[in-house]
């Protein structure tokens, strides 16, 4: 009598799911959401969204930021350096004026102090916003813009500015540093550069 292993009957983890690289946000969608959040006075979400785009941080690093990580005294700094949880390596990023204004307004409104988490959780057993909560907030933004939720995730926020910088400069090394990748190959895979460049060359080739 043959024995059939349980593994043979186990469904693949990705059955019925769309997997692969998540799309980066388009500039028009970024501004559309910013305007919506501003008009509806959703101060916390606007600060979170802008910081997510500018910092290019992984979700776990973004949600665990403290006020002191992005402030000098009581003012939001133009540049910050944080230690990444995954690699234990420091990464530096700049904060645009739009982002600094949104963060300053949120910090003042929430009455946050230097030692406080920048985005405190509204769930009692968590000191700061969790990655799952962050993902749910992002899903809400995607739905508000009428986009396909399956195409976007928290890494869409991380990839957005890095992708734009690469397209404008073609400087892979700079993007590697901005993302805090140890290996250049990781940056190539992360941005899907080989595919994008092939498509770009194809579009520019006349037959």
pLDDT for residue 79 = 93
pLDDT tens digits, 8-19: 445 443 344 434
**Domain count across the chain:** 1
Residue 71 host element (H or E): strand 71-72
Residue 71 domain flag: yes
pLDDT tens digits, 69-84: 999 988 999 999 999 8
pLDDT tens digits, 189-199: 777 766 556 45
Higher-confidence residue of 65 and 24: namely 65
Residue 62 confidence class, pLDDT cut points 50, 70, 90: very high
Residue 2 domain flag: no
CATH of the domain at 36: 1.10.443.10
Residue 125 domain flag: yes
Rounded (10°) CA dihedral 62, 68, 74, 77: -60
Higher-confidence residue of 179 and 103: namely 103
Q: Across the strands, what pairs with 83?
A: 90
Q: Which residue has the tokens 């030692």?
A: 115
pLDDT tens digits, 134-157: 999 999 998 998 877 777 777 777
Residue 56 domain flag: yes
pLDDT for residue 156 = 76
Residue 17 domain flag: no
Higher-confidence residue of 5 and 174: namely 174
Asked which of 26-30, 69-73, 178-182, 202-206 is least confident by mean pLDDT, the reply is: 202-206
Cα separation values, 83 from 58, 162, 183, Å: 11, 18, 17
Summary mean pLDDT of the chain: 81
Residue 12 domain flag: no
* Interval 101-106 mean pLDDT: 97
Residue 155 domain flag: yes
Q: Which of 48, 43, 82 has the alpha carbon at shortest distance from 154?
A: 48
The domain of 123 spans 27-204
């Amino acid at each position: 009598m043959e024995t059939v292993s349980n593994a043979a009957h186990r469904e693949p983890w990705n059955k019925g799911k769309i997997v692969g690289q998540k799309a980066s946000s388009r500039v028009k969608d970024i501004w559309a959401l910013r305007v919506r959040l501003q008009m509806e006075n959703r101060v916390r979400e606007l600060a979170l969204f802008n910081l997510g785009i500018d910092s290019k941080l992984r979700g776990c690093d973004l949600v665990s930021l403290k006020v002191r990580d992005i402030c000098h005294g009581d003012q939001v700094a133009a540049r910050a350096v944080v230690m990444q949880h995954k690699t234990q390596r420091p990464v530096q990023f700049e904060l645009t004026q739009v982002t600094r204004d949104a963060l300053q307004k949120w910090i003042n409104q929430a009455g946050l102090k230097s030692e406080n988490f920048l985005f405190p959780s509204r769930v009692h057993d968590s000191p700061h916003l969790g990655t799952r909560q962050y993902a749910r907030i992002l899903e809400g933004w995607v739905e508000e813009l009428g986009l396909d939720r399956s195409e976007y995730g928290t890494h869409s926020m991380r990839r957005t500015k890095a992708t734009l910088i690469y397209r404008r400069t073609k400087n892979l090394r700079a993007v590697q540093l901005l993302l805090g990748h140890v290996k250049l190959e990781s940056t190539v895979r992360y941005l899907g550069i080989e595919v994008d460049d092939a498509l770009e060359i194809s579009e520019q080739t006349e037959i």
